[in-house]
Structure 1
Amino acid sequence: MKSIYLVLFLSMSLLACKKSANEKETMKKEQSPQVTEVASIKGEQLTGVTISNQRLFVNFPYWRKPIKFSVAEIKEGNQFTPYPNAQWNNWEIGQPVTDSTFVCVQSVVASNNLLYVVDTRNPLFQGVIGQPIVFVFDLNTNELVRTYKLPEKAFHKDSYINDIRIDNERGYAYCTDSANSGLVIINLKTGEAKRVLDEHPSTNSEQAYLTFEGKKWNNTVHSDGIALDTKRGMLYYHALTGYNLYAISVEKLIKASEKEIENSVQLVAKTSAPDGMIIHKNILYYADLEHHKIMQLDLKTKEISTVVEGDNVKWADTFSIENNYLYYTNSRIHEAGGDISDLVFTVNRIKL
């Protein structure tokens, strides 16, 4: 008799556990935000996205020729309009490089009604032409209001200045270099720039590949993703082909010696391999490239969880947040090794 009761008890316990697991899975699916496609373009690979006062901007790096434009504003009806105009976007290989044309734009970031455009000046990854430049446009007038040219000491000939974060409180910008590992710090008032953590273990790639559906994507990409916690004065950064998230005080970056900066680097967490990163309300959002996810890390508790995953996340490249919506691009880099004429690249958003 006791054995019968024991069997019944175990059966009921197993059923309860299964029910609890199913309920948790259902709850997880219900809580997962809906992905909405905001815009799409065929055959033109976009990477960066930023939104300011409901104006949406994207960029297209010069990774293959020709490209239709470098920077575009997405207007109603899925219209991609060259920004600030067509002339800025008509450069081609072999033409003279001027200070009034884009060459190879990797990132666009809006802040305080200004649009910061990061021009790597490294088309086709064949080396920097002249100097990497950050162009700044006034979104009220759409006019160029400032140009930051990186001095020779701040970059290498094979540098690929990848992403940028603007610190208006302190008057600095922070950039990553994904081709030759390191960070670049720009004084927004004086235009002076310096390079730090050059080829440091925290900015170096940890391996030479990522894995997608069991297949290796062979590439070595150093410091790439970057996020600024303005309130706490911390800068977070991550190699793309790597699994360690690092952080450092921006006060150290601005004022300390190189040795002090190196000694101040903090290992924050083991994460998935990301590209896009951004901080919002004490949460660090970042991509999990290999598993087609967007993740979140609670900076207070260090708890990591999935925000969204699936076919709507194909190399979440860059993030931007406005009105509690997270916008991201699907740059599909792991799928775009050859002809991309039939590939569709999208800008999506989710409600946080």
Structure 2
Amino acid sequence: MGNLWILGILLCASTIAFAGKLEEVFSWNKVDYEFPNKTAREEAIASKTFIPEHNIPVGVEKWQNKLFLTVPRWKTGVPSTLNYIDLTKSADTKSPKLIPYPNWESHDLTNNNDTRIISPFRIRADECDRLWVLDSGIDDVLGSFNVMTGPYLLIYNLNTNELIRKYEIPTKDLSEHSFVANVVVDITKSNCEDAYAYISDFSGYAIIVYSFAKNESWRVNHNFFHFDPLSGDYTIGKVNFQWTDGIFGLALSPVHENGFRTMYFHPMSSTKEFTVSTEVLKNKTRAVDPHSYYDFKLLGDRGDKTQSTTNFIDEPSNVLFYTQINRDGIACWNTKKPFTADNLVLFDSDNTTLVFPNDLKVDTDSNLWVVTDRLPIFMYSHLDYQDINFRVLKGAVKNIIADTRCA
């Protein structure tokens, strides 16, 4: 009896620890769009250019009063793949319609021009008010897998919504199995031209480095970019499946005294975390040299069932946030502390609201934004569209880490 009483107290304490860290800001049974008018929406449905059940939000980013959401073209019927919510107009709306960015015309696949957007997964707004969009170039991923073009970067001026540059990743930096999905941007506001993008090729097991100033890229290979065969088994939302996804999560530390950052990275099908200095990645000669192997370091292991899609560092607190897809949760680690089990905190977990946290970002006000989308159920089973399937959650970093080992 005494042991049962103690167990009950511990379970209650765990529930309390998870409560109130993240609040639900938006939620959808199905996502919808801000069409020009009712007739345009009806025509899109009739022509099957809009199939509501095929639209699922994946990537998130916050810039000023815009909350960006990517809706990759997993299947046909996605009318707009890069969108935003106007936070000034959606405060009282639980399920706002998505607004195509920068306009509807950019999402028309029949327009074969440089401004066309096909299917991005991850995006990043930098300190110089630019939006970096990593486009996979693939339509109907789960169906015909229509490769419309090679993957490329689109870079927008967020103040004018104008396309600044389009850079198609050259075939020399890709493999026959390449699929790019995540991008982080290394930049300081004092020098907007000296920017680098680091791109994860999760199925080709490589990092592609892009220099904005030189307008060129190079491919970096390493054993640490591959998946762990013992960590490829998942059970999410009662759906069991196996993935072989390699390097996916990329996060950058604040700038060190030497002028470089530490990149924290991990394959998705792995429980290990690794590091490398951006001094290595930025130096093309050194980065592609096989002798740079030992510049990449094993940081440690997060533990059983801790596979993660993505991670991000809040610079003021030096806290790294990362998803926990096999545990329906979000965790944190203070990068100033040892990478040990005691310092890795699962601060929020819920088998309803946090089923497959796909992406997260910390905005300039140190608020954490998370998008959850039940992706494995969408891919391998059937979503219940009478239920809430997609959510955006938010929490202030200072409140999240308060009274935890992340503080």
Matches within 5 A, 1:133-282: 133-169=152-188, 170-197=194-221, 200-207=222-229, 208-212=232-236, 215-232=239-256, 233-255=261-283, 256-257=286-287, 258-271=289-302, 272-280=306-314, 281-282=317-318
The aligned amino acid for 2:347 is V
Amino acid at match of 1:222: G
Contact 1:225/1:276, CA 8 A, preserved across alignment: yes
Distance 1:40 1:152 in 2: 38
Higher mean displacement: 114-123 or 342-351: 342-351
- Contact 2:120–2:134 (Cα < 8 Å) also in 1: yes
Name 2:123's counterpart in structure 1.
108
User: 1:332 and 1:305 mapped to 2: Cα distance?
Assistant: 23
Give CA-to-partner distance per residue, 1:9-54, whole Å, 9 cap, x none: xx8xx89977985785476256x51422235361321110100112
TM-score by length of 1: 0.87
User: How many angstroms apart in 2 are the aligned matches of 1:173 and 1:191?
Assistant: 11
Q: Distance in 2 between matches of 1:140 and 1:63?
A: 30
The 1:19/1:159 distance shift into structure 2, 3 A limit, reads closer
What is the TM-score with the length of structure 2 in the denominator?
0.75
What is the correspondence of 1:82-97 to structure 2 with a 5 Å cutoff?
Answer: 82-91=100-109, 95=110, 97=112
For structure 2, the 5+ residue unaligned runs are 31-52, 189-193, 398-407
Range 81-90 or range 332-341, more displaced: 332-341
The CA deviation at 1:228 is 1.0
**More strand, by proportion:** 1
Residues 1:317 and 2:358 are matched in the alignment: yes
- Aligned residue pairs total 334
Q: What are structure 1's unaligned runs of at least 5 residues?
A: 1-10
2:4 and 2:224 map into 1 onto residues whose CA distance is 47
CA separation of 1:347 and 1:261: change in aligned 2, threshold 3 A = farther
Letter in 1 for 2:263: L
Counterparts of 1:22 and 1:183 in 2: how far apart (Å)? Answer: 42
Does structure 1 retain, via aligned residues, the 8 Å contact 2:237–2:374?
Answer: no
Tell me the SS of whatever aligns to 1:336: helix
1:20-31 alignment runs, 5 A limit: 21=10, 25=14, 28-29=17-18
Larger Rg: 1
1:229 partner amino acid = S
Kept in 2, the 8 Å contact 1:253–1:261? The answer is no
Report the Cα distance in structure 2 between the residues aligned to 1:62 and 1:131, rounded to whole angstroms.
Answer: 15
Q: Is the 8 A contact 1:167 1:230 kept in 2?
A: no
Look up the SS of the partner of 1:168 in the other structure: strand
Any conservation in 2 of the 1:252–1:260 contact (CA below 8 Å)? no
Over the aligned positions, Cα root-mean-square deviation in angstroms equals 2.5
Whether the aligned pair in 2 keeps the contact of 1:166 and 1:172 (CA below 8 Å) is: yes
**Which residue matches 1:69?**
80
CA contact under 8 A between 2:81 and 2:107: conserved in structure 1?
Answer: yes
The alpha carbon displacement at 1:268 in A equals 1.1
CA distance 1:166–1:19, change in 2 (3 Å): same
What is the aligned partner in structure 2 of residue 287 from structure 1?
A: 323
Q: C-alpha offsets along residues 294-315 of structure 1, whole Å, 9 cap, x if unaligned?
A: 0112212121011211021121
Shift of 1:96: 6.7
Distance 1:213 1:108, change over 3 A: closer
- Identical-residue share of aligned pairs (%): 19
- SS of 2:307's partner is coil
Please list every run of at least 4 consecutive aligned residues from structure 1 whose deviation after the TM superposition is greater than 6 angstroms: 14-20
3-state secondary structure, aligned to 1:171 = strand
What's the CA shift string for 1:191-225, capped at 9, x where partnerless?
Answer: 1100102xx32111113432336752122211111
For 2:26 and 2:239, the matched residues in 1 are separated by: 30
